[in-house]
Amino acid sequence: MSALEQDLQLIEEAAVAAGEIALRYYQSDNKVWQKSGHSPVSEADFAVDAFLKQKLSAARPDYGWLSEETEDSPERLERDKVFVVDPIDGTRGFLEGRTEWCISIGIVEKNRPIAGVLECPALATRYTAAQSLGSTRNGNPVQRLTRGRLESVTASKRLNRLIETQYAGSLTVIPFIPSLAYRIAMVASGQVDAAFARAGAHDWDLAAAEIILREAGGCLTDLEGEPRLYNQQRTLSGPLLATGEAAHSRLISLAKAGGFLH
């Protein structure tokens, strides 16, 4: 087994165990606090984060660490490989009792994702991927994206409304999914043709999902078609779009014409 395969196995095992921890809090008592920007964080987020940091850092002490719920340290910038973690992506949905949330674990090397797992316990769904090894959904290979057509899209609540207004009749807008990572995974598995994200996502929202999409024949880029770099001093992202490679140029044109990502 290669080092990359071993890393993928490690983060998959960690994600499964983390999902079990999260389920203890799901649809039950769970203390909640408000972070800056009025974003909620819960006991479950902190419990999963603490578990993953201990398990992954112990297994790979030379890897850096970047997580939504851990105070950032510039030390990660000096590491060749970095764990990029969102303990619960889609916390609002998690707290509302919705099913579309996930534990997101990515590994970044030289500023690009090389492995990732999305564990979605309430959906009994798991996505995995590693560079040149393909993507899987529940252990089965994900069929590579080949469609050049764009018939369905999904985005944030506000962006969904804008798209529905501008492209009524020509695009099917999938109702809001709380987890951005899961939205991107839906593109990877062909459940939706494209996903948009306005500026404001962070590395931890994107790293695992991007490698899953990329290994399924898709791409996540900015409006100029450029991929984003990870493990930079600033983790915040600009507007992004996700689709299969065959539909990518058309999606960029549609986004620019609509002007809704600016």
Q: Read off the pLDDT of residues 71-128 as tens digits, 9 standing for 90 and up.
A: 999 999 999 999 999 999 999 999 999 999 999 999 999 999 999 999 999 999 999 9
Write the pLDDT tens digit of every residue in 227-241.
Answer: 999 999 999 999 999
- Find the distance separating the first CA and the last CA of the chain, reported in whole Å: 45
Angstrom distances, CA of residue 248 to CA of 11, 26, 134, 179: 30, 36, 19, 22
Whole-number pLDDT of residue 198: 87
In angstroms, the CA 42 to CA 97 distance is 13
* Structure confidence at residue 261 (pLDDT): 75
For residue 262, what pLDDT band results from cuts at 50, 70 and 90?
Answer: low
| Of 18, 53, 247, residue with least CA distance to 153 | 247
Sequence-distant (6+) residues with CB within 8 A of 44 are 21, 22, 24, 25, 26, 30, 87, 88, 94
Domains of the chain listed by start with CATH number: 3-141 (3.30.540.10), 152-258 (3.40.190.80)
How much is the pLDDT for 169?
82
- Identify whether the C-beta of residue 195 lies closer than 8 Å to the C-beta of residue 154: yes
What is the model's pLDDT at position 29?
86
Whether residue 36 has pLDDT greater than 80: no
Judged against a pLDDT cut of 90, whether residue 167 lies above it is answered with no
Q: What pTM did the predictor assign?
A: 0.96
Question: How confident is residue 61, by pLDDT bands cut at 50, 70 and 90?
Answer: very high
| Residue 168 in this model has a pLDDT that exceeds 90 | no
Report the chain's mean pLDDT, rounded to a whole number: 95
The DSSP bridge partners found for residue 240 are 197
Stretch 12-30: mean pLDDT, rounded?
96
At 38, is the pLDDT very low, low, confident or very high (cuts 50, 70, 90)? confident
Tokens 């619960």, residue? Answer: 88
Residue 255 has a pLDDT of 87
pLDDT tens, residue by residue, 173-219: 999 999 999 999 999 999 999 999 889 999 999 999 999 999 999 99
Report the distance separating Cα 39 and Cα 57, nearest Å.
Answer: 27
Cα 123-127-133 angle, rounded to 5 deg = 165
User: Quick one: average pLDDT of 157-181?
Assistant: 91
Evaluate whether 69 touches 46 at the Cβ level (below 8 Å). yes
